Amino acid sequence: METIAVPESLGGERIDRALALLFDISRSEALTLIANGNVCVQGRSNVAKSLRLSPGDLIEIHEPLLSSRFELQPRADLNVDILYYDSDVVVVNKAAHQVVHPGSGHERDTVVAVLLAKFPEMAKINCDPLRPGVVHRLDKGTSGVMVFALCQRSFEALSLDVRTHVFSRRYIALVEGHLESRFGLIEAPIGRSIRNSKKMEVSSGGKEARTRFEVLERFESPRSATLISVTLETGRTHQIRVHLAGLGHSVVGDEVYGKGDEVLKRPFLHSETLMFNHPVTQEPMTFTAPLPDDLRERLAAFSG
């Protein structure tokens, strides 16, 4: 089941158009979901396709949105950089532009599809059938370390650790301008944007979000920028990008929350280090991934 609250920007919209915007599906797919009784609004399942929504209405979808389009197929012809695996977990270094699980426009070329070809036991995990083993995410444009569960007990244990913030995730980011403080904690709730339902924003009605950063180096040329280490204390959608943009220091290359970059074609954001306890043995585990070539080369163009 997928659940979302209607943002103010979609107040007064018809349910079919709102579903298309909120879940990135077509209007015809939205109407099919409604006709099949898979949509609830404020707990009511008998939803008319002409229903007009109010801000804050709770929409529930009672089937995976993509499952009617296709079945998740293993992709033995694609590759992913595997850093470690055993019978319970697999740790990968996700490349930029690789999509973790199926979504609009990326139904088959996903990390999950590659892992299914190598670890078919993932398909037996009782969870969203299009996201087997997925316990946390990285955005499409973000590279770096991720862990996936390979069995039910690992999935449940890792999912709990993510929810209770047991994971330690350290990112490297290059941001626009100079951050004044060497160390900082950003505490600002994050919710879906009321102006653009596909974006997130700092919002008093959002969920608690905390991001710590440490300045590593400041640059003056070709423009002022700051290289920082970022540690997540919560895991909200687009959290790092939203928090830093809210400070006026958007991530270099971030065209969604900033101004983009003349060279880099994705946000300068990399999941460098992931620390967690093994879900079965409880052994502390640490994995790191160096900056990929595109980020390393872009960083080399900046100087103090």
Query: Per the residue annotation, which of 139, 254, 261, 294 is the catalytic one?
Result: 139
Q: In this predicted structure, what is the pLDDT of residue 107?
A: 65
In the chain, list all ranges with CATH 3.30.2350.10: 81-164, 170-271
Task: Give the pLDDT confidence score for residue 227 in this predicted structure.
Answer: 98
Mean pLDDT by 10 residues, the chain (304 residues): 74 86 76 85 84 88 59 88 98 95 71 96 87 91 97 94 89 97 95 77 88 97 97 92 97 95 96 97 97 97 88
Can you give the pLDDT at residue 270?
Answer: 98
CATH number of this structure's domain 2-61:
3.10.290.10
**Secondary structure E strands in 80-182:** 81-85, 89-94, 143-149, 168-176
Calpha distance 249→258 (Å, rounded): 8
CA atoms within 13 A on the CB side of 299: 21
Q: E strands of 135-192, at which residues?
A: 143-149, 168-176, 183-187, 190-192
Task: Give the fold, CATH level 3, of 170-271.
Answer: Pseudouridine synthase (3.30.2350)
Among candidates 33, 38, 35, which has minimal Cα distance to 20?
A: 33
| 139 in active site | yes
- Distance from C-alpha of 250 to C-alpha of 245, rounded to nearest angstrom: 4
Distance of CA 77 to the CA centre of its chain: 25
Lookup: tokens for 219: 């640059």
Place of tokens 């996903």: 110
Range 81-164 classified under CATH 1.25.40.420: no
